[in-house]
Chain A
Amino acid sequence: MISPIKLAPWVTTIGLFVIWEAACRLFAIPEFVLPAPSQAIAALIEYWPAIWQNAFYTFWVTLVGFALAVVFGLALGVLTGASALVYSAIYPLLVGFNSIPKVAIVPVLVVWFGIGTVPAVLTAFTISFFPIVVNVATGLATLEPELRDVLRALGARQMDILLKVGVPRSMPYFFASLKVAVTLAFVGTVISETVAGNAGMGHLMLTAASSFRVPLVFAGLLVIAAMGVGMYALFAVLERRLVGWAFRGTEGA
């Protein structure tokens, strides 16, 4: 007997597709307005070689941008979380930068780096960087004052407190942010590919839309969503493995 909790996501996902399919057939919605899932899947099979190639490209561009975001996000998060001075100095800048729609900076990146991979990597990086910084900084800043007192009264160095207590403590926050950040990184890559790309899912979908091959556009959307869900699931598993102590008392801890 499979538990209802394990079953629920499959039921809702399959249910959504069934309703979507039924609605398209029932109201005879034209394919170029909203293709039925069956038509999107047919397009997926028909154009598989092109989709596979572009999806793979989008995937690794996203991962490069995301990896940069993890490295810099972790470093800046530790810095802002550990030092009140750095926090107050750069936090407003970070918030301001995060408020800028990333689609607006793609043209600037294109001017600087030309059309292609570099703007896509940087867009994925800039969009997924912020949640990592904020979460790591929060994890560090919420260290219990009593514990800090215990350690400082022992003459512990700031660096020891940071490495032995602060950083491990912020790891659940860090992994929580990775799940969100990796899906955002896909958004960044596809935005850049759509605005100024010559390859990738964004470029593919833009080309398909301009020739009214809407089922192909939806096939692309499904592939991106599937990649996002896959990476989210991967990081959720890593989270359970590495910071399982933060999930005490819940299923599978």
Chain B
Amino acid sequence: MSAFVELTGVTMSYGGAAGGAVPAVADATLAIERGEFIALVGPSGCGKSSLLKIVSGLATADSGHARIDGRDIAGSQTSGRGDSGGRTSGGRTSGGRASVGMAFQNATLLPWRSTLENVLLPLEVSRDHRATFRRKKAEHIEAARSLLKVVGLEGYEDHAPYELSGGMQQRASLCRALIHNPELLLLDEPFAALDAFTREELWEVLQQLWLQRKFTVILVTHDLREAVYLADRVYVMSKRPGRIVYERPVALPRPRTLDSTFDEGFVALVHRLRDHIGEVRAA
């Protein structure tokens, strides 16, 4: 019985083999069950985002095994550069590949599309949906509307992104990441640019979505309260090159409320993680 996402001794560096390579991830091992919500925390530049790229198939591990659903993850590119600015055309090979949704610190909505059209974008271009997009358009629009309703954007479907606040844009970005019902949701500091109140509102929105749909989540964050509030399991990564130095299950009952973040158990957990981060930073 293997886990849904399995990384075993994964190592990755930027800059290729020609010397001067910058190691990003070293010997990372973790196993994520289907439907599990995990959080990766660690100091800045510790390779958390690189791990996400490996899982999503955007970057390839130099060594070790990265598997989804028991099969090796197929990299979307084989160029050694591995930088996100690369313009290599993707020559894909067959292999393990979950349907993936992603959201980042920047909402990156397309300014010339309405909120609804932004949410529909993945269906227009994704491998699994683009062939049938036109035929099923009415159905897709219905799905997008109900998703927007869940995150509290009902009535904003036809608004342009710049008419939405930062928090609302991030809600729309979450909808875009989930519209194709991905098995795996990858979140790279999605709430880092929001004010504290908006951020906590979005924790609730995300938890609600996850409880309804039970997709697997990898959340990269700096915010320990965020990690403990949302995740089933928190991994602490060391400074670059990132390795996983501590793993902590969060056994708090769900749905968690914002009030519960002041409970003794919650606070104690955050403190423990804080201590580990302190050690990592000092190391």
Chain A residues with a Cβ under 8 A of chain B: 82-84, 144-158, 160-161, 164-165, 168-169, 171, 243, 245-246, 248-249
Tell me which of A84, A155, A171 has the highest count of chain B C-beta atoms within 10 A of its own C-beta.
A155
CB-CB under 8 A from B76, the residues of chain A are 152-153, 155
Give A133 Cβ to nearest chain B Cβ, in Å: 17
B271 contacts A by Cβ under 8 Å: no
Contacting pair B126 A243 (CB below 8 A) = no
Q: Across the interface, name the chain A residue whose C-beta is closest to B127.
A: A155
B162 contacts A by Cβ under 8 Å: yes
B111 contacts A by Cβ under 8 Å: yes
Give A132 Cβ to nearest chain B Cβ, in Å: 20
Number of interface residues of B (CB under 8 A): 38
Q: Is chain B's binding surface mostly helix, strand, loop or mixed? A: loop
- Excluding A146-B108, A155-B92, A156-B126, 14 further A-B contacts by CB distance (< 8 Å) are A83-B87, A144-B108, A150-B104, A151-B122, A155-B97, A156-B125, A158-B89, A160-B125, A164-B121, A168-B112, A169-B110, A243-B112, A248-B111, A249-B162
Tell me which of B58, B92, B177 has the highest count of chain A C-beta atoms within 10 A of its own C-beta.
B58
Tell me which of A82, A157, A171 has the highest count of chain B C-beta atoms within 10 A of its own C-beta.
A157
Known interface pairs A84-B87, A145-B84, A245-B112. Does A153 touch B106 (Cβ–Cβ under 8 Å)?
Answer: no
1/0 contact string of B62-106 vs chain A (CB within 8 Å): 000000000000001000000011110110100001011011101
Chain B residues with a Cβ under 8 A of chain A: 53, 56-58, 76, 84-87, 89-90, 92, 97, 99-100, 102-104, 106, 108, 110-112, 121-122, 124-128, 130, 160, 162, 176-177, 180, 186, 188
Give A82 Cβ to nearest chain B Cβ, in Å: 7
| Subset of 24 A-B contacts with CB under 8 Å | A144-B108, A146-B102, A147-B110, A149-B53, A149-B56, A149-B58, A150-B104, A150-B177, A153-B186, A154-B125, A154-B126, A156-B127, A157-B125, A160-B130, A164-B121, A164-B124, A168-B112, A169-B110, A171-B112, A243-B112, A245-B112, A245-B162, A246-B111, A248-B111
